[in-house]
Structure 1
């Protein structure tokens, strides 16, 4: 499985191809006319029959590469610099460092029509860099070619909404720019505006002109995710859920249960699903059901460093234990269903790598980056946490995201 046929990047992709979930050749893309706008298309893109799932890995120096999980095709990407964080909404890759964010268009995405989906692919490209002061917090929305992406620079207090339509055309355009007090804050996009933090104590609802429409208390806002229901922002005492219907947005505070453990500071889930997993002090996992506006505390057999809610029919939750194991839980019963060997023990023992361990999940698999070993483990969470593939990469996968979903 780990035989090398070419140095570095080819090795990664070859191994990925050999272990691919599907051995079928992806369908021939059908060019889509520009009149199809509204279905997520842009000029030069092609519509295909299934999701074009790819992994994008970024190493400590910013070298990046993309791998097609369907057929193992490798695509080297431009170097993005020594990123502190890497974020995606399913198409664009945002790599943040102390001087700004570098943006790559992966060229693969899914357009969600709620009752059905459209899948597209185009050539990947580097869009450019947005300069700023401090490692930016990037908050994304659910769609790739509509709406905005929020970027907040903590050292300057600058809050920016990037126009996603411009990104789809290879351009960086600010649809809104606000100057706030420097703080560890965020600006999270909504269909007709955004939530922006105020001195780490409140969230203000603003329209696309920057006018304040409403506000809600939120101490130390941290962590955003968009679900089928709405936008979630984590707070010290719970979460704020922003739901939009037409031109109206309602803000709801969802408090933690009495006597709750430490708050969640980040959230992860299968894209668009209503239930999300949050990590706080590591002694368990917070599950937030945005349909029911309720929290659940899922106790784990070991402290955990990362987790994601699959929110499928079997209510799987996938986590990485502090001991380096990958664990699978049933959210309804709270029972641990499966656990692997300590696949990430060396990575978690390295302070330079441990903070970037992440679980990303889709409808079939979970992916965890074992940077110390230079691999990404693909986990079949529905089959006793079986390691379906160990994907060897050309450099340490310090940062890992999945695109095309």
Structure 2
């Protein structure tokens, strides 16, 4: 059985809509939903489906994520060279024995423009947005964003490429392109590895090989990157300088590689994709760090459960939602929740996405123009929220607090 070390749980991302449970205590959720075709972002009440707000964008939302505090969300429109920053209108503050919550109307704070934005990485009170065709990451301070200030710092890579940048302590981890490879006009160079920069922007040590670097996640002070050779782990060394270690796939793993990663919050582990019909649990502390999970059919999406740290959910192309036990690698429950969504066809065809909100799971169902809300324990349907268009990317965020 996989053994994963427990660590102190980090704060959940919290955004909310009121749903009173006691006189001065509320549990609240909102759903932020992008559309696969239309240039819009919709904010819904997670309990009732009431539309709280809708924002017109430059293009459809290719990537959607929230900051660690949950005060802001980033709606990345890769094809439109734009990123819209949304204030969620909710602030949670920790008072030790309880947590306060304040509610305000969400707002469209501003638009960041740049050439081909893709990966946005939340880190503490900052968000790092990488612009592939500019080869740079822009670092935004959340407090400034909430004031409508789009000022930023910039970290530049060697050349434009499909990249990512992640802070680790006082250092910056940034992908490195292989500029020695010839590319066709309009194509970007491949990634060859990861580079460490100090606070002055100077390279520290050698570039770590990570061919085709794609996929990044953080867990308990570690950062993981997917590579053709394995999974590259970055951790703080004794002097604070990042130490890089390649977890090689080895001969026991079938052909494939990790290209998408999620990081555990209350336990130190990572969950990644592997090929079309597998996921893999990665525990860097183990001699054999990879626990491969074979799925009945091809995978469409997967998500971790923040409140139940040993649980993940995987949606497969036959319309089935599976519950995955992270410790054993077993699929413990499965239920068909939508019609099949084949992975054949264009990679951008509308397909469901998952988000976890407390004791429930939200599943977008673009063909039926709805969001299914399922019970996380039974996978039974609690309700269906209608939403016009082709609902796609979804962020479900929320929690409980005291509203004075």
Residue 309 and residue 204 in structure 1: after superposition, are their counterparts in 2 closer, same or farther (change >3 A)?
A: same
Q: Tell me what 1:381 maps to.
A: 376
1:110-134 Cα offsets, whole Å, 9 max, x none, are: 6789999775544322122221112
Answering whether residue 32 of structure 2 is matched by residue 56 of structure 1, we say: yes
Between the aligned partners of 1:115 and 1:229, the Cα distance in structure 2 is 26
> What TM-score do you get using the length of structure 1 for normalisation?
0.76
- Tell me the distance in 2 between the aligned counterparts of 1:116 and 1:244: 32
Query: Structure 1 residue 322 and structure 2 residue 306: aligned?
Result: no
In 1, the alpha carbon distance for the partners of 2:99 and 2:160 equals 40
* Structure 2 CA distance for aligned equivalents of residues 296 and 109 of structure 1: 38
> Residues of 1 paired with 2:342 and 2:372: CA distance?
13
- Counterpart CA distance in 2 for 1:216 and 1:251 is 7
Match of 2:220 among 209, 222, 228: 228
Tell me how far apart the structure 2 counterparts of residues 375 and 221 of structure 1 sit (CA, whole Å): 35
Q: Which of residues 61, 64, 71 is equivalent to 1:87?
A: 64
String of CA shifts for 1:56-102, please: whole Å, max 9, x gaps: 01222222221233565531132123235222134232222231322
2:210 is aligned with 1:218: yes
2:85 and 2:108 in contact (8 A); partners too: yes
Question: Do the aligned residues in 2 keep the contact of 1:24 with 1:70 (CA within 8 Å)?
Answer: no
CA contact (8 A) 2:48 2:385 kept: no
What is the alpha-carbon root mean square deviation over aligned residues?
Answer: 3.5
Residue 336 of structure 2: SS of its match in structure 1?
coil
Does the alignment pair 1:237 with 2:229?
A: yes
Alignment of 1:92-171 (within 5 A): 92-94=72-74, 95-98=76-79, 99-108=81-90, 121-141=103-123, 143=124, 146=125, 148-171=126-149
How big is each residue's C-alpha offset from its partner over 1:322-346, in whole Å with a ceiling of 9 and x where there is no partner? 2121112333343332222251425
User: Does the CA contact (< 8 Å) of 2:17 and 2:28 recur in 1?
Assistant: no
1:1-400 aligned at under 5 Å gives the runs: 24=20, 52-59=28-35, 60-69=37-46, 74-90=51-67, 91=70, 92-94=72-74, 95-98=76-79, 99-108=81-90, 121-141=103-123, 143=124, 146=125, 148-199=126-177, 200-214=191-205, 215-244=207-236, 247-261=240-254, 262-268=256-262, 274-289=268-283, 294-310=289-305, 315-341=310-336, 343-346=338-341, 351=346, 354=349, 357-383=352-378, 385-400=379-394
The 3-state SS of whatever aligns with 2:145 is: helix
Higher helix share: 1
CA distance in 2, matches of 1:267, 1:316: 15
Q: Is the 8 A contact 1:274 1:311 kept in 2?
A: no
Structure 1: distance between partners of 2:26 and 2:267: 19
Tell me how far apart the structure 2 counterparts of residues 187 and 51 of structure 1 sit (CA, whole Å).
34
Q: Which moved more, 1:69-78 or 1:392-401?
A: 69-78
Which piece of structure 1 moves more, 293-302 or 318-327? Answer: 293-302
Could you tell me how far apart the structure 2 residues matched to 1:381 and 1:275 are? 21
- Distance, in Å, in 2 between the alignment partners of 1:271 and 1:114 is 20
CA distance in 2, matches of 1:61, 1:387: 27
Gaps of 5+ in 2: 1-15, 178-190, 400-404
Tell me if structure 2 keeps the 8 A contact 1:269–1:310: no
* Structure 1: unaligned runs, 5 residues or longer: 1-19, 29-48
- Bigger CA drift: 234-243 or 349-358? 349-358
SS at match of 1:165: helix
Conservation of the 8 A alpha-carbon contact between 2:370 and 2:384: yes
Change (3 A) 1:120 1:186: farther
> In the alignment, is the contact (CA less than 8 A) between 1:88 and 1:403 conserved in 2?
no
Provide closer, same or farther for how the CA distance between residues 208 and 66 of structure 1 changes in structure 2, counting only shifts above 3 A.
Answer: farther
Retained in 2: the 8 A contact 1:54–1:68? yes
2-structure distance, mates of 1:270, 1:53: 21
